[in-house]
Structure 1
């Protein structure tokens, strides 16, 4: 009874903490704050139920994709993709947006994109373009390139990275870094291969 009375007194009147023990008072206040924050977080989730963003590559084409004897890759790749915000109550700001293109795990293209905002249940069209030259290393990568060239299609990975900010009503809070990975199969330039098929991307934070 005595210990319980002192604990209640400490919570009700911080000035009495010196009498009942400063450490006990601080622990009680900390526990109360943690419980309050946990309850608020649960309420926020139940109300807004945030959903994962989604992305799809709608089209992709290669104007040039050749590998020279010195393993220098000359490339010209155009991509159109759609990023969707499925949330009904949460808007999203995309900052520090960058797109990358990779072949056989090696990055050959990089293109920064403008930051943008997505309102609730909105979609945004993005069109990164990659053009230039980049050396590829390794005999296995060169062999894979020749094999895919013969098959009439290249397996390429397009990535999109962005730092998110979340808008709830008039409030804006920092969000996670979104990473979008799009493994696509693109026909060889000027070939009779089957046309590109829209491809869903993988998203994680």
Structure 2
């Protein structure tokens, strides 16, 4: 009875049966593509086993960090960083590289850096420098700066942003945007605080 009803339906509306057949065929093709892409992605992962890049601030010198009565911050900060590509089969291109210095979430320094390439298991030294003057917004941030100056240490974040491209064999494909965050504890200029210690950074994609 059911077969006869479907036959009558197809005789009455052949376009409907054709549309159903095309939809079913497209669904099958789409599922096959998804499965194929998933299998290929798993195979590539097992072959290349990509690892997160690593970054460390090796040294940092804060020679000026003072706030005027009108909340104008005068600063001079030089940083030496090491970025490492731990992957054995994947090279990395770093494009649109920029470094930022922040105090209490407020950016006071900005320094663009040259694009560069890292071969497999390679390290690259980066030396961002920040110098100038910047208005600090808010009484709380200004009070924190003066308090930290009295304590002999400043908590400053140095961030690095870059757009990655991935090189696999001779192929180059777009990668994610990398965000490197380095929370630093820096001796205040002229203080007797302990010297800066190398600091590992956090990497986000």
5 Å-filtered alignment, 1:125-144, equals 125-144=125-144
Tell me whether 1:91 sits opposite 2:86 in the alignment.
Answer: no
Tell me whether 1:61 sits opposite 2:61 in the alignment.
Answer: yes
Q: Deviations over 1:70-94 (max 9, x none)?
A: 0000001000000000000000000
For the pair shown, the structure with the greater C-alpha radius of gyration is: 2
**TM-aligned CA distance change 1:19 to 1:115, over 3 Å:** closer
Q: CA deviation at 1:110?
A: 0.3
Q: CA deviation at 1:60?
A: 0.4
**Equivalent residues, number:** 189
Give the Cα–Cα distance (whole angstroms) in 2 for the partners of residues 93 and 74 of structure 1. 34
5 Å-filtered alignment, 1:45-124, equals 45-124=45-124
Give the Cα–Cα distance (whole angstroms) in 2 for the partners of residues 155 and 174 of structure 1. 35
The aligned counterpart of 1:11 is: none
The aligned counterpart of 1:191 is: 191
The aligned counterpart of 2:155 is: 155
Supply the RMSD in Å over aligned alpha carbons.
1.3
Q: CA deviation at 1:43?
A: 0.2
Q: Deviations over 1:134-167 (max 9, x none)?
A: 0001111111111110111100000000000000
Unmatched runs of 5 consecutive residues or more in structure 2: 1-16
Unmatched runs of 5 consecutive residues or more in structure 1: 1-16
* Other structure's SS at 2:137 match: coil
Give the Cα–Cα distance (whole angstroms) in 2 for the partners of residues 145 and 124 of structure 1. 32
Give the Cα–Cα distance (whole angstroms) in 2 for the partners of residues 93 and 18 of structure 1. 50
Q: CA deviation at 1:19?
A: 9.4
* Other structure's SS at 1:150 match: helix
TM-score, L = length of structure 2: 0.90
Q: CA deviation at 1:25?
A: 1.0
Q: CA deviation at 1:132?
A: 0.5
* Other structure's SS at 1:21 match: helix
TM-score, L = length of structure 1: 0.90
Q: CA deviation at 1:190?
A: 2.2
The aligned counterpart of 2:181 is: 181
